[in-house]
Amino acid sequence: MELTRNEVELCGTVAAPPVFSHENHGVRFYRVPLAVARLSGQTDTLPLLVRAPLPPEAQPGARVRALGQLRSYNNRTGPGSRLVLTVHVSSLDLWDGEAVNRVLLRGTLCKLPTLRRTPLGRSICDVMLAVGRRYGRADYLPLIVWGQLAQEVSLKAVGDTLGVEGRFQSRVYTKVIDGTAQQKTAYEVSTMHLLDDPLPE
Q: Which CATH number fits the domain that encloses residue 185?
A: 2.40.50.140
Q: For residue 62, give the 3-state DSSP assignment.
A: coil
For residue 162, give the amino acid letter.
L
Looking at the structure, do residues 109 and 142 belong to the same domain, yes or no?
Answer: yes
**CA atoms of 90 and 198, how far apart (whole Å):** 23
Q: Is the pLDDT of residue 23 over 60?
A: yes
Looking at the structure, do residues 22 and 58 belong to the same domain, yes or no?
Answer: yes
The last residue of a domain, from among 99, 130, 146: 99
- Structural domains of the chain, count: 2
Looking at the structure, do residues 15 and 93 belong to the same domain, yes or no?
Answer: yes
Looking at the structure, do residues 9 and 90 belong to the same domain, yes or no?
Answer: yes
60 assigned to some structural domain: yes
146 assigned to some structural domain: yes
Q: Which residue has the higher pLDDT, 75 or 166?
A: 166
Looking at the structure, do residues 130 and 180 belong to the same domain, yes or no?
Answer: yes
**CA atoms of 196 and 201, how far apart (whole Å):** 12
Looking at the structure, do residues 120 and 83 belong to the same domain, yes or no?
Answer: no
Burial class (CB in 10 A: 0-12, 13-18, 19+), 163: buried
Nearest partner of 73 among 10, 163, 133, 28, judged by Cα: 133
**Residues in a beta bridge with 130:** 108, 140
How many helices and strands (H and E) does the chain possess?
1, 12
The last residue of a domain, from among 48, 82, 99: 99
**Residues in a beta bridge with 116:** 124
The last residue of a domain, from among 45, 64, 99: 99
Q: What is the span of the domain harbouring residue 184?
A: 104-194
**CA atoms of 173 and 183, how far apart (whole Å):** 6
Looking at the structure, do residues 90 and 113 belong to the same domain, yes or no?
Answer: no
Q: For residue 17, give the 3-state DSSP assignment.
A: coil
Q: Is the pLDDT of residue 41 over 60?
A: yes
Q: What is the pLDDT of residues 99-156, one digit of tens each?
A: 999 999 999 999 999 999 988 889 999 999 999 988 888 999 999 999 999 999 999 9
**CA 167 to centroid of chain Cα atoms:** 8
